[in-house]
Amino acid sequence: MEARKLDPAPFIVGHGRSGTTLLRLMLDAHPELAIPPETQFIPQLIDASKRPGSPADNVIEELVNHRRFGDFGFTAEEIRENFGKIEPFDMTAALRYFYRTYAERQGKRRWGDKSPGYGWTMHRVDRVVPEAYFIHLIRDGRDVTLSLLAKQDFSPGPARQARHWKTRVNKTRRLGGEVRHYMELRYEDLLTEPETQLRRVCDFIKLDFDDAMLRYYERAEERMSEIKRDMDPGTELTANRSRGVLKAERRLAVHELTKEPPRTDRIGVWKTEMEPEDLATFERIAGPLLTDLGYELGSDQPAASEARFEQPAASKPGATE
């Protein structure tokens, strides 16, 4: 089946603590659209398919041993059986089976994905999922920093966090010009005018707006229950080291606010909670990008030359919004 005949599949990407789970639940509340918990495995599956040996066997083993596999309701046996039927094996067909089956089990006909990290591998995902429509959710990096500090046991420091946020947002914007379909959405706008912004998203992914999306919080606890399990290391790697066990309680705790209607008091928290020295440091590094994205600056410190940002690559006509 050619990509142009397929329904667009929204892929929500962005920096951590930028509201991607909120947008996932909003879209998932639509009666036609199902979005699973974070997959994060597409790049690993692509790599596995290129290893020596059987591509199907390699991909199957990579998937069923991935730390997130238990979130989706599949058994290893049905993955082996159904991926084994794809002859010759094809990554696109395998992924479509996975997402379509997940959606069908939710009683939905369309599917999408919410994996923030795909923002930095969009070009790879785009090649194997041509119907992917990437939605880059962007949040003020100063509030991102404070949210990370509140939800983690450590802080990387304002300078390191500013560079990390700037680099990841810039890279996602640049790659957005290299994929078929890409749009940007600010977290703050989603909170203050949810219907307007959701209508923008629906227009982008060719989906009729449904006001059930505005009541996402009514089903949030039920939908988030899919990740109510300890997540073992599996094969997912970070910094060349296996991750440790992530307890179910912690996985759920970081998303507590999704059970409530949008809270605009989480906008501009940096104005009252960020130390002046940290604010000045962050803005010296990421100030130009903040300004480019429409955020006001709160420090009178000049931005350092290292903070100059990359403009997104020129996009193809009709590919962005």
pLDDT at 216: 96
pLDDT at 257: 65
pLDDT at 321: 35
R_g of the chain, CA atoms, integer Å: 20
pLDDT at 243: 55
Give pLDDT tens digits along the chain (321 positions): 344 479 999 999 999 999 999 999 999 999 999 999 999 999 999 999 999 999 999 999 999 999 999 999 999 999 999 999 999 999 999 999 999 999 999 999 999 999 999 999 999 999 999 999 999 999 999 999 999 888 664 567 899 999 999 999 999 999 999 999 999 999 999 999 999 999 999 999 999 999 999 999 999 899 888 866 566 665 544 433 345 666 655 554 555 667 789 999 989 999 999 999 999 999 999 999 999 999 999 987 555 444 333 444 433 333 333
What residues does each domain of the chain span?
A: 3-262
CA end-to-end span of the chain: 26
Record the pTM.
0.87
Residues 213-225 as b or e (16 or more Cβ within 10 Å = b)? bbebbeebeebbe
CA distance 295 to 139: 10
Structure tokens at 140: 């003020």
Total residue length of the chain: 321
Q: Which letter does DSSP use for residue 72 in this model?
A: T
Beta bridge partners of 10: 133
CATH topology of domain 3-262: Rossmann fold (3.40.50)
pLDDT at 79: 98
pLDDT at 305: 41
CA distance 268 to 57: 49
pLDDT at 227: 62
Q: Give, to the nearest 10 degrees, the angle between helix 276-292 and helix 158-176.
A: 10
pLDDT at 317: 32
Question: Do 112 and 9 touch, CB atoms closer than 8 A?
Answer: yes
Burial of 163 (0-12, 13-18, 19+ CB in 10 A): middle
* Chain position carrying tokens 């982008």: 204
Beta bridge partners of 34: 111
Question: Do 175 and 118 touch, CB atoms closer than 8 A?
Answer: no
Structure tokens at 283: 């803005």
Measured between alpha carbons, how far is residue 199 from residues 208, 214, 235, 304 in Å?
8, 11, 38, 38
CA distance 57 to 63: 10
Question: Do 226 and 34 touch, CB atoms closer than 8 A?
Answer: no
